[in-house]
């Protein structure tokens, strides 16, 4: 990844910035809560960009007023999964919208090996490309 | 760095206008509202004024860089039913918010059912969810002594208390917990949970109302709903309160409110059945003596309400 210094996974918001501090996360959470979005915490050790099935850490948090409770939950998720990707999503449940409005990574493994580009030759010299995460060579739970 | 130390040496001479601070915080409105809307409760009001003063002085001290650590604000309200514990808690959250001790100033009112789960592993997430909702505001636990049931050793209440204690200690800036309940049962509760007692700095006892205060409360309640008592009605209601206080299940202001609701019912019935079909505004507003004297408290010496249901069921 030539453009990605430090080989960091770039998914969601703020992923080209240095990791957010707790204070910055709190400010982002407050923005989500002010808009009335429900915040959920998710984790995974499968970093492929097409992997939409991250596990939820606890229930999505509806009807909160203050980000302190969510930050508490983020920290307990970091403690449980120190070497997983943890992201925060803010979900807008308005009818007709019903989709995540924000999503950003708040915890990542210490060492991210990155992706390999695979080329597959097809009939008529056609080449198809795919990316493969080095981390997923190992079984789930032992990847980082 | 050097600038800061300069500040702190010079600030011994600088003066902060406490009055201006007081006005700026807008707590005067809340305290005045407390005085006007709540009848009686002298000791409670004094305590709240004292607490507000402490918090204000603390805030000014912080501006002068005299730090003293975040004060513990967890409280315990004890008193009989209907003495205004929930209402005062609501005002308290407003005062704390205006002084900047809680960020949002909302009140989350819960009882045992909201905190304690029904099976193993259910309690912790449930309690945590309530705590998360109350963050930045005030968590009001009504009838808190139900959390601890010593006769059942497999009760999950203890787990909930443990989590509460932990958050009360670690998240002091995020959350203020107010426990409420009857005096004697709360004393027993604290006796068996010494950790809880030591973490609560303010114990406020709510006294019962005397008959005159209850009458004043009744008038205030009626005024809010655009009703009033006639002269005879007022005398009758005073008599009603005196009789009702001696009966069982008397719940201070709550009983008064229920009695007034029933009087409104009788008034409507009287107007509907009465001969006079053209009514003035004053007729619609006034509760007469007969609306109150029809109560079972006068006729049979029994409280209204509950016994009626039983009789109907028998029929």
Q: What is the pLDDT of residues B135-164, one digit of tens each?
A: 999 999 999 999 988 888 788 998 999 999
Per-residue model confidence (pLDDT) at position B12: 58
CA–CA distance, B225 with B236 (Å, rounded to integer): 20
Which residue from A55, A45, A49, A52 is spatially nearest to A132, judged by alpha carbons? Answer: A49
pLDDT classification of B9: cutoffs 50, 70, 90: very low
Asked if B104 has any chain A CB less than 8 Å from its own CB, the reply is yes
- The answer to whether the beta carbons of residues B108 and B177 sit under 8 Å apart is no
On chain A, the residues whose CB falls within 8 A of the CB of B122 are none
CB-nearest partner of A66 from B125, B129, B174: B174
Instruction: Report the pLDDT averaged over residues B35-56.
Output: 84
On chain A, the residues whose CB falls within 8 A of the CB of B168 are none
Instruction: Report the pLDDT averaged over residues B177-189.
Output: 92
Per-residue model confidence (pLDDT) at position A5: 65
pLDDT classification of B96: cutoffs 50, 70, 90: confident
Per-residue model confidence (pLDDT) at position B165: 92
Per-residue model confidence (pLDDT) at position A81: 95
CA–CA distance, B225 with B285 (Å, rounded to integer): 9
Asked if B124 has any chain A CB less than 8 Å from its own CB, the reply is no
Please state the three-class secondary structure of B145-189 as a single string.
Answer: HHHCCCCCCCCCHHHHHHHHHHHHHHCCCCCEEEEEECHHHHHHH
- How large a percentage of chain B has pLDDT more than 70? 91
pTM score of the predicted model: 0.80
Contact A73 B171 (CB under 8 A): no
Asked if B17 has any chain A CB less than 8 Å from its own CB, the reply is no
CB-nearest partner of B103 from A59, A64, A66: A66
pLDDT classification of A99: cutoffs 50, 70, 90: very high
Mean pLDDT: which of A38-42, B29-33, B151-155, B254-258 is highest? A38-42
CB-nearest partner of A64 from B103, B133, B171: B133
List the 167-186 stretch of B: residues with Cβ below 8 A of A: 171, 174-175
CA–CA distance, A107 with A45 (Å, rounded to integer): 11
Per-residue model confidence (pLDDT) at position A57: 94
Q: Is the pLDDT of residue B306 over 70?
A: no
The residue of chain B nearest to residue A57, with distances taken between CA atoms, is B125
Asked if B26 has any chain A CB less than 8 Å from its own CB, the reply is no
Composition of chain A by helix, strand, coil, percent to 5: 25, 30, 45
Tokens of B124: 């912790």
Q: Is the pLDDT of residue A126 over 80?
A: yes
- The answer to whether the beta carbons of residues B113 and B151 sit under 8 Å apart is no
Instruction: Report the pLDDT averaged over residues A32-45.
Output: 94
Per-residue model confidence (pLDDT) at position A34: 94
CB-nearest partner of B136 from A58, A66, A73: A66
Q: Which of B122, B132, B168, B174 to mutate to test the interface with A (most CBs of A within 10 A)?
A: B132
Asked if B300 has any chain A CB less than 8 Å from its own CB, the reply is no
Per-residue model confidence (pLDDT) at position A103: 95
Which residue from A21, A20, A39, A16 is spatially nearest to A101, judged by alpha carbons? Answer: A39
Per-residue model confidence (pLDDT) at position B29: 81
Per-residue model confidence (pLDDT) at position B6: 44
The residue of chain A nearest to residue B174, with distances taken between CA atoms, is A68
- The mean predicted confidence, pLDDT, of chain A is 91
Per-residue model confidence (pLDDT) at position B24: 75
Tell me the CA distances in angstroms from B112 to A5, B10, B155, one per residue in order: 53, 52, 12
- Kindly state the DSSP code that residue B292 receives in the 8-state scheme: H
Query: How many residue pairs from chains A and B have C-beta atoms closer than 8 A?
Result: 38
Instruction: Report the pLDDT averaged over residues B173-178.
Output: 91
List the Cα angle B240/B87/B168 in 5-degree steps. 140
HSE-CB for B303 with a 13 A CA cutoff: 16
Asked if B163 has any chain A CB less than 8 Å from its own CB, the reply is no
What region does B231 belong to: left with phi over 0, alpha with psi -120 to 50, or beta? alpha
Give the closest-approach CA distance of A93 to chain B in angstroms: 18
Contact B133 A58 (CB under 8 A): no
Give the closest-approach CA distance of B130 to chain A in angstroms: 9
Per-residue model confidence (pLDDT) at position B110: 94
The residue of chain B nearest to residue A65, with distances taken between CA atoms, is B133
- The answer to whether the beta carbons of residues B6 and B13 sit under 8 Å apart is no
- The mean predicted confidence, pLDDT, of chain B is 84
On chain B, the residues whose CB falls within 8 A of the CB of A69 are 131-133, 135, 174
- Higher pLDDT among residues B267 and B9, named by residue: B267
Give the closest-approach CA distance of A69 to chain B in angstroms: 4
- Higher pLDDT among residues B313 and A135, named by residue: A135
- The answer to whether the beta carbons of residues B263 and B232 sit under 8 Å apart is no
Contact A69 B103 (CB under 8 A): no
Give the closest-approach CA distance of B129 to chain A in angstroms: 8
């Amino acid at each position: 990844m030539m453009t990605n210094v430090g080989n960091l996974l770039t998914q969601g918001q703020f992923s080209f910035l240095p990791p957010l501090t707790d204070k910055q996360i709190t400010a982002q959470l407050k923005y989500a809560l002010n808009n009335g979005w429900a915040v959920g915490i998710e984790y995974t050790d499968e970093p492929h960009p097409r992997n939409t099935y991250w596990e939820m850490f606890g229930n999505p948090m509806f009807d909160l007023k203050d980000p302190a409770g969510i930050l508490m939950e983020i920290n307990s998720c970091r403690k449980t999964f120190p070497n997983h990707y943890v992201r925060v999503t803010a979900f807008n449940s308005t009818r007709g919208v019903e989709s995540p409005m924000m999503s950003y990574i708040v915890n990542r493994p210490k060492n991210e090996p990155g992706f390999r580009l695979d080329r597959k030759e097809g009939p008529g010299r056609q080449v198809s490309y795919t990316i493969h995460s080095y981390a997923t060579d190992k079984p789930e739970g032992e990847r980082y | 760095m050097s600038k800061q130390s300069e500040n702190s040496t010079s600030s011994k001479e600088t003066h902060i206008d406490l009055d201006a601070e007081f006005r700026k915080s807008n707590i005067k409105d809340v305290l005045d509202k407390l005085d006007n809307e709540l009848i009686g409760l002298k000791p409670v009001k004094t305590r709240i004024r004292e607490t507000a003063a402490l918090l204000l002085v603390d805030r000014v001290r912080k501006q002068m860089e005299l730090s003293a650590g975040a004060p513990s604000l967890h409280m315990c309200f004890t008193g009989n039913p209907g003495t205004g514990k929930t209402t005062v808690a609501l005002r308290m959250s407003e005062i704390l918010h205006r002084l900047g001790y809680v960020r949002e100033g909302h009140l989350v009112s819960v009882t045992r059912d909201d905190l304690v789960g029904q099976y193993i592993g259910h309690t912790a997430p449930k309690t945590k969810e309530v705590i998360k909702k109350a963050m930045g505001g005030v968590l009001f636990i009504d009838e808190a002594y139900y959390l601890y049931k010593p006769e059942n050793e497999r009760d999950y209440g203890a787990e909930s208390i443990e989590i509460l204690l932990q958050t009360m200690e670690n998240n002091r800036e995020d959350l203020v917990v107010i426990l409420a309940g009857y005096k004697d049962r709360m004393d027993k509760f604290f006796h068996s949970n010494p950790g809880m007692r030591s973490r609560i700095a303010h114990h406020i006892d709510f006294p019962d109302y005397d008959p005159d205060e209850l009458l004043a409360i009744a008038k205030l309640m009626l005024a809010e709903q655009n009703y009033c008592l006639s002269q005879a009605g007022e005398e009758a209601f005073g008599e009603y309160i005196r009789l009702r206080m001696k009966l069982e299940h008397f719940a201070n202001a709550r009983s008064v409110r229920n009695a007034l609701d029933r009087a409104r019912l009788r008034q409507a019935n009287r107007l509907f059945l009465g001969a006079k079909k053209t009514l003035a505004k004053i007729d619609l507003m006034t509760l007469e003596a007969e609306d109150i004297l029809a109560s079972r408290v006068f006729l049979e010496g029994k409280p209204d309400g509950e016994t009626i249901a039983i009789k109907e069921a028998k029929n």
